[in-house]
């Protein structure tokens, strides 16, 4: 059997051990392990990379620890507005959604769109109607309204600030996954609740194919996490693929060029997870830490938080 690989992230940012309790640290490791085990189970049963990344991301969406799904932050109007995208590397099919509320697992809605040849990107009420037609699970507003996120939003709103994520120490809790299945196909998926106290229907890079998510069997699969405006302007995910395809850089070299040079020069903070068609993977980030992990047919399951 050919090998398979799955890598995930739960966000990057100023994640310092001195600010982390052992209980919270354990909780993050356990959440990452649960997502990796769910995705690995799919791949181990000869499932597709698309199925694996969607399942892994769904598990993280179900955890209040990450800024996606249940743990999504509040917008300026006190709503939980989510975005997600998914892409497969064989035929370059993709699905994306933004400005969505009440959909329990946004990545599953994006996945449904990926398999519909009529659409790639749906937003707002239309995306929610599409979810209803596909009988995807919907939940009430209260499902997303965690006390921690509410307190964070009220503090930000009172101070007139837009927070990058869930603490004053700048964390980007976006979640994502990349996978290589036994058929040699790549896939990538990303999901987020965006920025705390965001306004005007703001959308970041997580739902934008080429910026926050990209997959191509010729090159790599990428899922990003960071300050979305910079990742949009730098077209980060596709840029890594382009450097590999047109300049014949290795996965590691391409990630270093984009994350550690291009983004740094733009003062863009964050990172990405990357996987190529040979099963090489990279965790590339210019922040203090990134919740992340990897597993595979020839790899022990490992999770990490700090540099």
What does the DSSP 8-state code read for residue 299? E
Q: Which domain holds residue 140?
A: 5-306
Six token digits for residue 221: 């699969």
The packing angle between helices 106-114 and 49-61, to 10°, is 160
- The predicted pLDDT at position 260 comes to 98
- The predicted pLDDT at position 73 comes to 92
- The predicted pLDDT at position 126 comes to 98
Nearest partner of 57 among 114, 243, 49, judged by Cα: 49
| Structural domain count, the chain | 1
Six token digits for residue 209: 């194919």
- The predicted pLDDT at position 170 comes to 54
Nearest partner of 211 among 194, 198, 225, judged by Cα: 225
* Grouped pLDDT means (10 residues each) for the chain, 307 residues: 94 84 94 98 98 98 95 92 98 98 98 98 98 97 89 79 50 89 98 92 96 98 95 98 98 98 95 98 95 97 95
Catalytic residues: 174
Three-state SS for 273? strand
**CATH code (residue 57):** 3.60.20.30
């Amino acid at each position: 059997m050919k090998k398979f690989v799955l890598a995930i992230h739960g966000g990057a940012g100023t994640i310092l051990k001195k600010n982390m309790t052992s209980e919270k640290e354990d909780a993050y490791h356990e959440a990452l392990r649960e997502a990796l085990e769910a995705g690995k189970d799919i791949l181990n049963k000869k499932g597709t990379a698309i199925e694996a990344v969607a399942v892994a991301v769904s598990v993280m969406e179900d955890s209040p620890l990450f800024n996606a799904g249940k743990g999504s932050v509040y917008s300026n109007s006190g709503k939980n507005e989510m975005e997600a995208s998914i892409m497969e590397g064989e035929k370059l099919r993709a699905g994306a959604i933004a400005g969505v509320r009440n959909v329990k697992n946004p990545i599953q809605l994006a996945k449904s769109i990926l398999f519909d040849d009529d659409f790639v990107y749906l937003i707002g009420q239309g995306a929610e109607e599409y979810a209803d037609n596909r009988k995807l699970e919907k939940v009430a507003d209260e499902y997303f309204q965690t006390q921690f996120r509410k307190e964070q939003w009220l503090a930000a709103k009172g101070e007139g600030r837009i927070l990058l994520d869930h603490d004053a120490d700048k964390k980007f809790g976006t979640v994502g996954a990349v996978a290589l299945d036994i058929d040699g196909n790549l896939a990538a998926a990303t999901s987020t609740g965006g920025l705390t106290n965001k306004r005007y229907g703001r959308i970041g890079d997580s739902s934008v194919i080429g910026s926050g998510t990209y997959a191509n069997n010729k090159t790599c699969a990428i899922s990003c996490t960071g300050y979305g405006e910079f990742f949009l302007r730098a077209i980060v995910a596709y840029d890594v693929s382009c450097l590999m395809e047109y300049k014949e850089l290795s996965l590691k070299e391409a990630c270093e060029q984009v994350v550690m040079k291009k983004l740094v020069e733009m003062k863009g903070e964050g990172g990405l997870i990357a996987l190529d068609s040979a099963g090489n993977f990279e965790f590339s980030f210019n922040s203090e830490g990134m919740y992340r992990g990897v597993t595979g047919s020839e790899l022990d399951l490992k999770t990490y938080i700090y540099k």
